[in-house]
Structure 1
Amino acid sequence: MKTWTVVFGLVLAACGVHASAAPTRVHVFVALADNATQGISPVPAKIGNGDDAESNLYWGASEGFRSIFARSKSWRLEKAEANPTLQILDRRIYRNAAKDCTLVAEAWRGKNIHQCLEAFFNSLRDRKCDLTAFIGHNGLMDEPVAVSVLGAEAPPTDAIILCCVSGSYFKPHLAALKTRPVLTTEQLMYPGAFVLRDALDVWLSKGTLSEIRMSAARAYAANQGISVKAAAGVFSKLE
């Protein structure tokens, strides 16, 4: 328990001061795809090794978080830290000057997805960021994660959860943590980081929940070669 207290402390410290302070702060938790330990449909071995962030489907591959944000003209990498903990293989800090936003992203080992989800929920509980996001396999399908219930006086915070059927699986956790979901999913889906990139852009521009959902739908439709209408059905109608 002491070890995880230290890990959570590092995660929250990386995210920064309370969400009410400028700049806007976002924290992204990425659980690397892992054929060996997660209940996922197997992917090619090179991108399904949860101990290899460099090539992983959700991080270093062409549509993984690191690659998508490296190609973005809006986000500038300010700091990269390899292996900050035993469970985290890569931690990166980005800056979006136009939107006055700092983003911390972490690549968690696939076998540590449970701890990654615990850290995600703890970040929401402690209100260190304006928005907290999760990308990866829906680990709640494999193992439950307990959360504490916050009082009604908790300040507002938002969440984006990109994994299969996150809307129903994460709903009670978000309710307990008094968190507003701004993008969740209703179907089995591919959580490419291009969805987060486009949804974040609308969220940072103070777009509506409908605008955030449709931005995600357009990005998903373009990637999957399906209609925007079909892609919109992948995401929860939260508005």
Structure 2
Amino acid sequence: MKHVIKVIWCSYIVFCCLLNLQIFANYGFVDLELCKIRPVALEGESLKSQDDDMPAIFVETENKKINNDVNRIKTYLNKLPSYLLQDCKAIHFVGHDQLIKTYMVGEKEGDVSNKDKEEIIGYALERNMHAHVQYQSNLDKSALVHELWHIYDFNHGNSDSQEFQALYLHGGDSVTEYGKISPGEFFAEAGWWYTVYPEKLKENNMDVYSYFKNLDNKEECL
């Protein structure tokens, strides 16, 4: 009997808290802007990785296009190599306006021109290992895999190694124009191609393809 009373009392307290939160929201005491991004629950049985290496997934709740594609996002992530996800703590899928907003409020250091704002489709943060990606239906062409390779690089330092520096020096222009910017961007772009377009990478730069193939084999053996 005491247990039943305790359960009823706890339920009543929870109800009162939720009611007060709604009242505060109605009268403007809660900053609803903070509620735009919410975590999406991922069912354990559907995950490729069953441990804590799978990053938290967030979506912009007011963007209907993203919300309608949540299951596609889950399926896509489950197909990626597990080692590509294990260093990432969270992935934020947002629309372009929200991406720029978070980029400009101190998430990313440095000044950004209006021209650069239009070209930003994603960014990764080394300080918290979060990837922020402008969502698009064709995830292969989004910045997702590129940013995940950046986070992998943050943790493992591949682009700073002598081996990869040499690959960049002799073939930094062999993948994409953007990859020419720096060894770090070349690593992320080449990693994107290796993951999504492996035959294209093999055709354009066999040495870089072999580098990622060896990396892939080592990770799969761990």
Both proteins in one fold, TM over 0.5: no
Larger helix proportion, structure 1 or 2?
Answer: 2
TM-score, normalised by the number of residues in structure 1: 0.34
Larger strand proportion, structure 1 or 2?
Answer: 1
| RCO higher in structure (CA 8 A, sep ≥6) | 1
Largest Rg, 1 or 2: 2
